[in-house]
Each structure stands twice: as structure tokens, then as C-alpha cells.
Amino acid sequence: MGNLNMKASHVSDVIPYYFISLLLTSISYSFVLSFWNGDTNWGMAGVVFYSLFGMIPFLIFAVPIQVILNKKPKKFNFLYLIVYLFFALIGIIILYLFYNDSFNVEILREAYYYKLIISAAVIFWLWDSVFLQKENHVFHR
């Protein structure tokens, strides 16, 4: 029972880092989206809206991968970026299908979707490396 309590304690210690990483990723990504969409009329309200809306896909698609990768933490690991890029591609396609009735392969030819995918993965990877990919992380006590 003591080992289970110790693991639960370690998990509760790391949850704030996941939350901070998720929050900063969502805010950073919302600034990028606002800039690319030219949607500066909303100002900070737009950033807040995009942040709240953007938090959901990151929570669904990126955080589970982040948890798995944190079992062997490595700061700014290029392989982790590739993994995030792959899952960002899948996530963007799933979100596209959610908002559209059918899949149109033409989206794979549009540079805008690759901008979304690459920026989402790079931003998440950067914040993940800053807050969670530590060599002596709380998971490894």
C-alpha cells in the first residue's frame, strides 16, 4: 500500500506541470492563430477564446502522448517533436472531420493546415521540454 501512495504522490506532484504546459501551449497557439487569421479585432478576448477552444484538442491528443513520453524524459528531443507532429496531423484531420461532413483530401494540399500542424506540435514540444522533460523529474524519484 505504501508503494501505491508513493506513486499517487508523485503523480499529484507532476499534475501542475502538465496544466502549466497545457495552458501556455494553448495561449501561445492562440496568438499564432490570431496572427495567421488576421483576427486582431477581438484583441485579448480572441486570444482567450482561442486558448479555451484550443485547450480541448491539446488535452485529448497531446497530453496522453506527453504522459507516455515523460516516462523517459529528454529535453528538446527531435524524436519527440516527430511524434507530436504525427499526432498533430491526426488531430487536425479528426477535427476537420468533426466540423465537416466528409473528408476532402484537398486539405492535405493546403499550406494552412501544415502551418496549423507544425505550429501546434512545435509549440507543444517547446513548452513540454521546458516544464516536463527534465532528467530528474518527479516521476523518477
Tens digit of each residue's pLDDT (9 = 90 or more) over 47-100: 787 788 778 888 888 888 988 888 888 889 999 999 999 999 888 888 878 877
CB atoms within 10 A of CB 48: 14
Domain total in the chain: 1
> What's the pLDDT at 36?
76
What value, to the nearest 5°, has the Cα angle with vertex 103 and ends 102 and 104? 115
Contact of 28 with 120, CB cutoff 8 Å: no
What's the domain range around 111?
2-140
pTM, two decimals, is: 0.78
Q: What DSSP line would sit under 112-130, residue for residue?
A: HHHHHHHHHHHHHHHHHHH
Tens digit of each residue's pLDDT (9 = 90 or more) over 101-140: 777 777 778 888 888 899 999 999 999 988 777 654 444 4
Q: How many whole angstroms separate alpha carbon 56 and alpha carbon 74?
A: 25
Reading the block at residue 1, the C-alpha cell is 500500500
